[in-house]
Amino acid sequence: KDAVRSQCKPPCACAMSWFASSTPNAENSAYQLAIDARKAQGYATQAQGMYDQQRQKGQTGQAAQGMIQGVLDAVGLGKPDPDAQAAEAYAGLMIQMNEVLKEWKAGKLHADDARSHCNQLMREMQSFGMINRPDLVDSKLMKKNINDQRKTEMQAEFHDLVSKRMRLRRQFSCC
């Protein structure tokens, strides 16, 4: 400590030089230097310079997404359509039902397992009630090659799967 103090003459000169550099005139000149540096780099305004710095950091994409989402929410377009979500979910369940029935018919899935899967899927589909966007359901199903004929086949296969269990119960009615 004494060695450092002996280098500074007078003892408070270092503190005074720091204080002098933080005066408003020094800040203004530093600010002016920053503006001049931005202009030298080709930025017309401080905002343009800040935008480019944020862009380099990857922050403008997030800010832009937040701003766009805010505008969409304000006009009511940003919120997902519950009818469309229900239609998508219902179509997904139909696709799963199709896969289970195909695996059961091919012998890859035991009847009891297929029946329990199908019953669970059926309960979930029934929980939706009425689907207000059948066009979305049909378009998603058509992408998976499930047309009206396949839907009819699926109904028959499901009926066969469920009625097979009933026939077995009738055979062994003592239990």
pLDDT digits (tens, 9 = 90+) for 72-92: 666 666 677 889 999 999 999
Q: Which of 75, 96, 129 is the last residue of a domain?
A: 75
Residues 86 and 70 in one domain: no
Buried b (16+ CB within 10 A) or exposed e, 99-113: ebbeebeeeebeeee
pLDDT digits (tens, 9 = 90+) for 117-149: 999 999 999 999 999 999 999 999 999 999 999
| pTM recorded for the entire structure | 0.53
Cα gap 72→26, rounded to integer Å: 45
Number of domains in the chain: 2
Rg (CA), the chain: 36
- The mean predicted confidence, pLDDT, of the chain is 74
- 172: tokens are 């062994």
How much is the average pLDDT of 46-50?
A: 56
Is residue 129 left, alpha or beta, with left meaning phi > 0 and alpha meaning psi from -120 to 50? left
Range of the domain at 93: 82-171
Q: What is the pLDDT of residue 166?
A: 59
Residues 21 and 66 in one domain: yes
